[in-house]
Chains A and B, each alone.
Chain A
Amino acid sequence: MSSISVPGAVPVPESRKERENYLNIQHTVASWLLTLDHKRIAILYLLGITFMFAIGGAAAAGIRIALVRPHDTFFSNEVYNKLFSIHGIVMVFFFLVPSIPAVFGNFALPLMIGARDVAFPRLNLLSWYLYMTGSFLMLLAIIFGGVDTGWTFYTPYSSVYSDTNVSLVIFGVFIAGFSSIATGVNFLVTIHKMRAPGMTWFRMPLFVWAMYATSIIMILGTPVVAITLFLVAMERIFGFCVFNPVCGGDPLLFEHLFWFYSHPAVYIMILPSMGVVSEVIACFSRKRIFGYEFVGFSSLAIALLGFLVWGHHMFVTGESMYSGMVFSLLSFLIAVPSAIKVFNWSATLYKGNIWLSAPMIYALGFIGLFTIGGLTGLYLASLAVDVHLNMTYFVVAHFHYVMVGGAIFGFMAALHFWWPKMTGRLYPESWAKLAALIMFIGFNLTFFPQFILGYLGMPRRYHYYLPEYQAWNILSSAGASVLAVGYIIPFCYLLWSLFKGAPAGDNPWGAVGLEWTISSPPPSHNYDEVPIVTWEAYDYEPVIQAELAGAAVGHPLMTTEEPYIKETE
């Protein structure tokens, strides 16, 4: 390959003046708050969701402190109820749902398909403001005394009886929901209409496929939960009558409508992570993803099947036995596309040139933990077993394996993978590996005992429990503190690397995605000339050849002479 010794390849000369990029092109606060640049909006989102993650994490810490003792006196029962509600609502609606799509989807998706921006940059900025407004209302609700309905807002408790700030929280979630819809519309149009010439559907990176599937769920599911929560608010504020059994309303209807969104929402959280894992696994085993088409289509299959399984949340609510059987069957079916992904990632690793970098450790962690989370989901999809396990800690452990072990490990993998591209700096690799390991250990220590607790019959959401459960709860709380350390370390070294990190160069991983063909951090308009794609996704053969030859890898697939780097005086 003639391109291997392209100038600007790693390592970057120290003397080089900083290039003009999306970060340093303007410095005013207004230039950030009014930016239409998808990369800047991604950074804004990153700040927002990190803050909300801290709030949700603090609430989780409270829960684990309370559960160290069977008869906790540290928090009152009311406060305990508010802690798990705030933890759930903040983490689901204000962290997990926007996390990867709004941050890394926004940052990387246009770059990956060779676009200058998303299709509707103003809508993109609006979505951030909607998210921030929703978050602000949520924070306001917490300041005014919190909310105690759990993240599920079951009626009629939420709509009639609860005397906490349910309305405020509902409006926060409602508004944040529209931010999610806006992101979904934007991504769908972007993927359909903004791909660079030659970037066919089957040349797209799998992260883009995952974002496409996620966006489908966002546009089909979110409006339903929005209107449902709106109905709850109408019932609560104006005394309307929709779900209240006192006037003939049906609380089960609320549960159906709520889970029609909230089950697919689980896939909003996990599909983007699966996309990230596909990118990371391919890059760090230097191989094309095994069965590319199957992995791509399994994302779509998950998105579509995900809309047909919501009833498995309601097996014990008096749902008809026959619909229970159908929902159970469909829930088993959705394990198939998920398993396809896991098998294909494993097959990709086979005989790959594996580089155990920090993103790769997170991605491997994802595969293991998601497999456990997914398989325990099958326990819960079985009608008879679910009667025993429903509303116990088994459920809590199951969805934390999917949401933390899956979604957050994917988020951390993405953060480390694209951090050099976003900031132009390398994070300290050994610290990152250590943090990944601590997080893995802490996570398992926290949540594995909860499987056992649930199996032994400890119900979820209870403040007090029987003394025989204490040992497992202490283990879990100890694990939570290890996990907290695993979150704090990356926060510190990533912040440090912003100022002191080594310059990353354009392509520190030798990855072949289009986003690695431009400088780090990218210029605000991404591409001076829209690239013409003539190669398949994950074509790592040239990289392997270059590495064997001992040459520095720029971007092996680009044959042009760095048209995109501008020197500023």
Chain B
Amino acid sequence: MMQLGAILFGAAFTVAVCLALGQLLLRWAQAPLKRQEELPLALVAGAPILSLIVFLLGILQLFHWWLFLAIGAGVITLAVARGGLRPGGESFEPLASPYRWVYAGIFAAYGVLYLSNAMAPETSPDGSTYHLGLVSRYLRAGGLERITTNMYANISQGIEMLFVFAFAFGRHSAAALVHLAFFASITLSIVNYGRRFGLPGAGLAAALFFFLSPVVGRDGTVAYNDVATAAVLFSLFYLLRIWSESPSDRLLVPIGLLAGFCYGVKYTAAPGLVFAAAYVIWKLHRAQRLRLRPLLIFGLCAFLLVAPWMVRNAVWLDNPVSPFFNKLFPNPHVQIAVEEEYREHMRNYDGLESHWDLPLELTVRGKVLRGLLGPLFLLAPLGLIALRWKEGRWLWLLALVTGITYASNHGTRFLIPSLPYVALAMGLVFTRVPRLAPALVVAHAVLSFPSVILTYSDQEVWIIYRLHWKAALRIETEEGFLRRTFPDYEVARMVQDNVGDGEKLLAFGPVAEAYTDREILVVYQAAHNRVLGNMLMAGYNTGSQPTRRIRLDFPSGSYRKLRLVQTAAGFPEQWQVSELRVFDGSGELERTNQWRLRANPNPWSVQRAFDNSLATSWSSWEAIRDGMFLEIDFGAERQASAIVVECPPDQWNIDLRVSGSRDGQTWEPVPAEMNDTYLAEPPKGMRRMVANELKREGVRYFLTSEHDPAGPDFEERAREWNVTKVAGSWGRRLYRFN
């Protein structure tokens, strides 16, 4: 009961503080809102302020529940004192739809389903791994911390800051309930949008189209941020419309904050900021009121919500927009190749054979793109008829703005931000035909019911499956529910129970980090982890093992510096060097402390090619291009006659040349004869070498599964890896390096 109370308090308190802040802001801004509009818009308008406060507290390492309590109580008291509880503005005309009771029934039924799922323990893939994994990590650390081993910590986390606030009191489910509050807010705002702009029937239908969509229902009831992002964008455009009809500089404050918050909640919502800025400028220009003051108000407010994330990333990660644009901001934390792979992966979901499959995958099947909008949205093209009307053109413009980033990620949930406008456009068209919209709403409600979905969708699709009222009310314990329904929880607890405090675990796949406080390095999540993962692969994967020897012989000469230059271009492969050795005759030059090593690109890991270990390597971490080099400054002139490169074989197109410098300033090509040989067998002891290097990097544990290529190898060659299997759960095995 205590736990349930904490959950409800954490969520309600966070929502109340947002509402209070939003109410204070909107009233100060003299937003001409109707009574019904205040609540949903205040929640979203207050969110950027609370998010910013939490961010600043995090930077100051002041994440304490009692401080949150004090600040929240202060804000609520202030709002109450300023009349925040008194309803302001006039009411809309009552909704006259004869179907309103049917609609209310549908809202209520799905509302209970959604509430029970949001209150149930968190089992979502991303929520349990990084959304709440990072939130719980920040709370343990007492504030935000520099994390270079998880690129999900690099993206903006505006909504996660609200989760921090809620999690401090009610943990996981409180965060999910905060997301649900945004879900409720946007649904109400869609209804209100219709009422304000003269399309009440369309608004009501659209709200239900959105609310009942299976992917929205699933996403909005877990600790994700897509529905909240949609709510921020919708509220922004809502207020922009109001501002365009009743321009005031004060109203540009919440508009600017929300515009900046678009970037602050999710990079993919950044076009909302750009659009809002352009719209404000355009409107001011058309009204011949283009002055500095409104632009500065808008710009500064937006900047307030954008800057924290950019500055954090610039200072901590050397890239203000990490984990993207690493070519523009080269840094050791996210490799260019990894970014490109990630982008490619997001664009091309496994199983999506053609873009022509998108309509059915998005609306009916759902497995490949991890969620479905519902078959109703097969009718979305009919919404284009709305282009006939000005309102319809506006809605489709917003759908385009909010959906433009869908090209970068084809997951169904990335369409959620544009769904309200598509739904409204559809509502606009369908309400022109008597009884069509209610019929479609009812059909949509039936087709979105969990047991019905499974009759037409793929199996194992990401939807809400059932009501979880016992788990929601904690009649069934959280532990019991998670162990019964969520295998990843068992794995997380296995990690918690067996990995020592402060010890690092390397894993190829994600772990439900929201349920363990151990440090987990997931291979694909950061440059450092990727380097460790590649090192591990060199233990068992022949393609990654340094079985190739490239010897470049040149006339013996005296050099202050030598460079090995890669000149090929136009191939996707990367250049990788396990060891680079310099010889004079048959004797290798000793690597002395006088030497200075450089590399371009990826200068940060050049030492890995000069450590006398075949388990480690330097890699370009981007496709080969002319001019990449590894350079040795001997510190003084040294006699040399050959360079030997030991490297993995799978870099068929590299073309290596030698350059030399006698004075350390001017470079001259050194004609060299290349001799390329391949070892039939990998060097002996690769597994043990790799294990030793991983230990040197502080990695004491490795989590694998029988599906990983590494899994069977660890099972069969445990002695060579020098590991002990310490635990296993749900096909995952935990090994300790001895």
The finding on whether chains A and B are genuine partners in a shared complex, rather than unrelated, reads no
- Chain A residues with CB under 8 Å of chain B are none
